[in-house]
Structure 1
Amino acid sequence: MFPGQGSQRPGMAGHLLDAYPSARALFARAEEILDLPLAQLCVTGGAAELARTEITQPAIATTSLAVWELLRAAGYQPAATAGHSLGEYPALVAAGVLTLESALQLVRLRGQLMGEAAGEVPGAMAAVLGLPAHQVQAACTDAGAAGLVQVANYNEPLQTVISGHAAAVEIAGKAALDAGAEKVVTLDVGAPFHCELMSVVEEEFTAALAAHPFADPVLPVISSVTGTWITSGEEARDLLRRQLTGPVRWVEVLTTAAAYPVGAYTEIGPGRVLSGLARRTLAEARTRSTGDPRRLTALHGELAPDTWQQPLAS
């Protein structure tokens, strides 16, 4: 599982760049492709800088791909892969659909376009906790007279994110509280993602998607747009376009994976957001994460030691 925006934190790649030559090589390649000081940003960058969506997206994607390369070199062979919104790009790299270069270039443009859209279509996002998704959807419908507000993320059965015009999001949040939600948390994001307000960037991004090759998956990959399997490269290309304005169906991603079935859910990249969502959605889920040295070393212990790239001596 590859994480999306919200998983970034200061110093998130420090343990990788300090210890693993291959991680430094991947960051150097990413910096060459994007002309961005990604290593600096992911080691010493501040929270405010990392929160800028044009920085957040390539920073998270590069950190996740560095972890993926470490695990892949160690013999890690997942049964399937998926990514939460932005995380779908490294997931498609893992599945052989996108090259590293194409994924990073698309992620960089995606972040830039979304950042620009924030100025054109100011809005808000909020997480509704403790209320089933169908009741959150009803709250959005009730708030429709105040502007556009839609479900943006089906994260877990009792955590749903809404997105749209700020006034409509506020009214929908109050309606959700009236309907029994435990709390509504306004999210500190750069733009109202995963709703129709993002359609302003769709034409330019669609043209960019058309300029990159998409291969058919060599590893099963689940779409965060549909919650079902991606069957071809062309389908993957279209789903990345639809992802801009469509909701993230993470509950469906997890239930599809559970039915496959898979035995463990490994979060590849910074943070532990997706591990938590998996545990709260699937009662029997066994989760692993890689966002810090201890957890990365624990996963290393499950892999073939003779193929693992050992850390440099301190």
Structure 2
Amino acid sequence: MIAFVFPGQGTVRVGMGGWLRRDTVASPVLARAEEVLGIPLAELCTRGPLDRLVSTEVAQLAVTSCNLAALAVLRERGVSPDLVAGHSVGELSALCAAGVLDVDATLELVAVRSRLMAGVPDHGGMTAVLGPRPDVVATWAAKVSTPDEPLVVGLANAPDHTVVSGSFRAIERLSDVAGADPATRKVVPLSVGNAFHSPLMEPAAAAWAEAVAAVPMAAPRVPVVPNTTAEPTTDAGVLRTALIEQLTAPVRWTETMGHLTGADRCVEVGDSKVLSGLLRGVGVRCASLADPAALRQVVRAG
């Protein structure tokens, strides 16, 4: 079994997509992304500025264009997955890999998603808590959360890597709790535009649901593991619902990685090593296409 995993917004950096822009198969996909999205992605990815590249309305587009370009390279070389998953916005790339969405529909949905998320009033943030289990951090978040100052687990990235998302005041309270626990190695505020994958994204939820409902979705050719359920499925209706709910629901990546332990091969499809690093932490070897040499190894493996 070969699994494809697709990175999300937190993996952007100046210089991303370099080898993809030089590849004869990938470069037309990147050019098409610029055409569909109407922004100079190549210039931003190559030269920045970083503050513009990491902004929500650009970062999701940059990551997705690299994901889809790398996917095109694998397809052209005859490498196809038996299972796919994507981290946060990377789930849209995974749906494309499974044949649920075509390239243009994927790009257009990401453009809507990024615009809606960037447009939510800035009144929250995200912080990584390293060391304790996600369920422990979830208990802390519930204790410090209030109706006016919500806090939830936004990303359960690994058994010892959890990101909370919500009100700044609630984050401060949780940081105090986490810092007093001997299991906590580090508490790291993230440089993000808002409290993604939390109830604070609710102002964008209705418009996002409308956009997802309007896009044709084919039955997946291979199972997809949605972020909200962390269970493989080939049900297009389940995938549509999961994609809608993903905006305010947590990314259950720790559980998702459990479905990848039986893969003979795993490939991080895009220009990132973040997911391959998380997978390495749970004993799954995953080749990252951030390194062109990894592509040659994946193709040779057949």
State the TM-score, normalizing by the size of structure 2. Answer: 0.94
Q: Is the 8 A contact 1:67 1:290 kept in 2?
A: yes
- Distance in 2, matches of 1:81 and 1:247, equals 18
Instruction: Name 1:81's counterpart in structure 2.
Output: 84
How much has 1:53 moved relative to structure 2? 0.6
Instruction: Name 1:236's counterpart in structure 2.
Output: 239
2:160 matched to 1:161? no
Instruction: Name 1:178's counterpart in structure 2.
Output: 180
Instruction: Name 1:311's counterpart in structure 2.
Output: none
1:6 to 1, 7, 10: 10
Q: Is the 8 A contact 1:152 1:195 kept in 2?
A: yes
The one-letter code sitting in structure 2 at the alignment partner of 1:6 is: G
2:49 matched to 1:50? no
- Distance in 2, matches of 1:130 and 1:222, equals 25
Partner of 2:69, secondary structure, is helix
Instruction: Name 1:309's counterpart in structure 2.
Output: none
Label 1:198 to 1:252 Cα distance change in 2 as closer, same or farther (>3 A): same
How much has 1:51 moved relative to structure 2? 0.6
Q: Is the 8 A contact 2:222 2:234 kept in 1?
A: no
Instruction: Name 1:189's counterpart in structure 2.
Output: 192
1:99 to 90, 99, 102: 102
Q: Is the 8 A contact 1:139 1:173 kept in 2?
A: no
The one-letter code sitting in structure 2 at the alignment partner of 1:12 is: M
Instruction: Name 2:141's counterpart in structure 1.
Output: 140
Partner of 1:21, secondary structure, is coil
Instruction: Name 1:69's counterpart in structure 2.
Output: 72
2:217 matched to 1:214? yes
Q: Is the 8 A contact 1:135 1:176 kept in 2?
A: no
Please list the CA deviations of residues 200-232 of structure 1 after superposition, one character each: whole Å capped at 9, or x if unmatched: 100011111111101111012111111101232
How much has 1:296 moved relative to structure 2? 3.4
Q: Is the 8 A contact 1:215 1:232 kept in 2?
A: no
2:37 matched to 1:38? no
- Distance in 2, matches of 1:41 and 1:206, equals 29
The one-letter code sitting in structure 1 at the alignment partner of 2:66 is: T
Number of residue pairs aligned between Structure 1 and Structure 2: 296
How much has 1:300 moved relative to structure 2? 4.2
Partner of 2:272, secondary structure, is coil
* Structure 1 range deviating more: 136-145 or 182-191: 136-145
How much has 1:121 moved relative to structure 2? 4.1
- Once the two structures are aligned, what percentage of the paired residues are identical? 38
How much has 1:29 moved relative to structure 2? 1.3
- Distance in 1, matches of 2:43 and 2:214, equals 30
The one-letter code sitting in structure 1 at the alignment partner of 2:112 is: L
Instruction: Name 1:306's counterpart in structure 2.
Output: none
- Distance in 2, matches of 1:287 and 1:195, equals 29
How much has 1:79 moved relative to structure 2? 1.9
